[in-house]
Structure 1
Amino acid sequence: MSIDLLMFGVYPYVALLICLVGSWARFDLAQYTWKAGSSQMLSHKGMRLYSNLFHVGVLFILAGHFVGLLTPPSLYHLLISTENKQLLAMVSGGLFGVLCFIGLSGLLLRRLNDPRVRASGNASDLMILLVLYAQLILGLSTIVASTDHLDGSVMLLLGAWAQSVVTLQPLAAAEAIAPVALVYKLHVALGLTLFVLFPFTRLVHIVSAPVWYLGRRYQIVRQKRRVA
């Protein structure tokens, strides 16, 4: 079995299985750990800006990856050419990638330098920030690498890989990604590893939306007065 087949044909399914089973087990067995563990209350207000930059950047990056990788060329060619889609991906990815980089840098520095934030967290909080930081640097590096092939040829190969994975064709997925440069493969491999880490870190808060609050009846909280 080749390394491409193992890493990009088999590993995606292993990572997804660990993500789903691990998330289910954590939610079922340790619901009180299913939280973000926010530490914004422990630092100055400027940190809120870094947090907002990071979250806005990462949400747009994820949406761009989802649409860009899973949309078949025959569909997006109705609106845009492959070359223009490549340019759009580079510009938008670069813009939101830089926003995310600034925000994540601030959050990482706070985690390293603020004693109260360090005391309120654990080793996995720092670890996941470092992994995200490495993934973001790799992602920005792929934009630089893409300037050598503005025809969108590598983008088509990565799209074929993602669509082959989704349609359960591991051999086709491995063949599609085999010719691309190492920086793209590292970016994809670390992205898959984030799925493995997902159930065991604070990343679970991504899918935690308290929508039940919208239908919950309001509550009145009264404080009992002390009698002198």
Structure 2
Amino acid sequence: MHYFLYGIYPYIALGVGIMGTVARYERDPFTWKTSSSQLLRRKQLVLGSILFHVGMLVIFFGHLIGLLTPIWVFDALGVSHSAKQLLAVSLGGVAGVMALVGGGMLLHRRWTDPRIRQTSSVWDIAILVMLLAQLVLGLATVVVSLGHLDGHEMVKLMSWVQGIVTFDANAASYITDVALVFKLHLFLGLTIFLVFPFTRLVHIVSGLFVPLRYLFARPGYQIVRSRRKTPLPPARKSAKSNPAE
């Protein structure tokens, strides 16, 4: 079961997430939206949205850089494993609290306001609950990490992520003995990738990657009206407007 969850399930989740997102963008572009509820109720939205999105962006890029950067790069730069883990714990902890507070405000707003809840789908609420649960697990890993700041647990997680990316058949074995909270955090994160195409989270792709399509796309032109070399003939008067004709 451990090998399935952390050796096979990652490819199922990532495969469905990537192919499902592409299929939705190509086949159902009109569903590609966040369905903003700002017009229904602005209260709690601005502050909650800022805290949630800023925190999540810091966490996302922190995980992306911290886990996918090869270990030898940190060694070459002279960054020790303990220093890297201390940075991840401090920065991730602050960003996690921000995102959790902001997400809690957004969930409270969406759950308690009858009009917003009426216009919300099941996935709108479910994915927000999943993200908040993931944030709680992430903050729990911070508490566990404070008990061993030598960075060895972080190296195991980095080896697992990089092993999955490079199709290492032994990737699951790298995290066999890590704490349970790390395993739950990884499993829920993979599940979020699995359901990603079926939720409003697809707007993340628009904000991060779709603008590149317009930067490198060939310029197009729209002809509003073609020019005529000869003037148009004068308009004829209708018999109705001039009875003398």
- TM-score by length of structure 1 reads 0.89
Secondary structure class of the residue paired with 2:79: coil
Q: Which residue of 2 aligns with 1:51?
A: 49
Percent of aligned positions that are identical: 48
Does structure 1 residue 60 correspond to structure 2 residue 58?
Answer: yes
Q: Number of paired residues?
A: 215
Corresponding residue to 2:24 among 26, 41, 53? 26
Q: Which residue of 2 aligns with 1:132?
A: 131
C-alpha distance in 1 between matches for 2:27 and 2:155: 42
C-alpha distance in 2 between matches for 1:113 and 1:177: 40
C-alpha distance in 2 between matches for 1:174 and 1:4: 7
Instruction: Give CA-to-partner distance per residue, 1:91-144, whole Å, 9 cap, x none.
Output: 000010011011001001001111121122111100000000110100000000
Q: Which residue of 2 aligns with 1:226?
A: none
Q: Which runs of 5+ in 1 are unaligned?
A: 219-228
Instruction: Give CA-to-partner distance per residue, 1:62-118, whole Å, 9 cap, x none.
Output: 100011111122111214111111100000000100110110010010011111211
In the TM superposition, what is the alpha-carbon distance from 1:23 to its structure 2 partner? 1.3
Instruction: Give CA-to-partner distance per residue, 1:50-73, whole Å, 9 cap, x none.
Output: 101100000010100011111122
Instruction: Give CA-to-partner distance per residue, 1:162-221, whole Å, 9 cap, x none.
Output: 010011013x21110111011000000000011111000001010114737887889xxx
Does structure 1 residue 76 correspond to structure 2 residue 74?
Answer: yes
Secondary structure class of the residue paired with 1:62: helix
Q: 1:201-220 maps to which residues of 2 (within 5 A)?
A: 201-209=199-207, 211=211
C-alpha distance in 1 between matches for 2:98 and 2:78: 27
Instruction: Give CA-to-partner distance per residue, 1:22-41, whole Å, 9 cap, x none.
Output: 11221222111111111122
In the TM superposition, what is the alpha-carbon distance from 1:46 to its structure 2 partner? 3.7
Q: Which residue of 2 aligns with 1:188?
A: 186
Does structure 1 residue 94 correspond to structure 2 residue 96?
Answer: no
Aligned partners of 1:39 and 1:117 also within 8 Å: yes
Aligned partners of 2:44 and 2:105 also within 8 Å: no
Q: Which runs of 5+ in 2 are unaligned?
A: 223-245
Secondary structure class of the residue paired with 1:41: coil
Aligned partners of 1:57 and 1:100 also within 8 Å: yes
| Root-mean-square deviation over aligned CA pairs | 1.8
Return the letter of the residue paired with 1:145.
V
Q: Which residue of 2 aligns with 1:145?
A: 144
C-alpha distance in 2 between matches for 1:174 and 1:44: 45
Aligned partners of 1:34 and 1:204 also within 8 Å: yes
Which of the pair has the greater relative contact order for Cα pairs under 8 Å at 6+ separation? Answer: 1
Q: Which residue of 2 aligns with 1:42?
A: 40
Q: Which residue of 2 aligns with 1:225?
A: none
Aligned partners of 1:35 and 1:202 also within 8 Å: yes
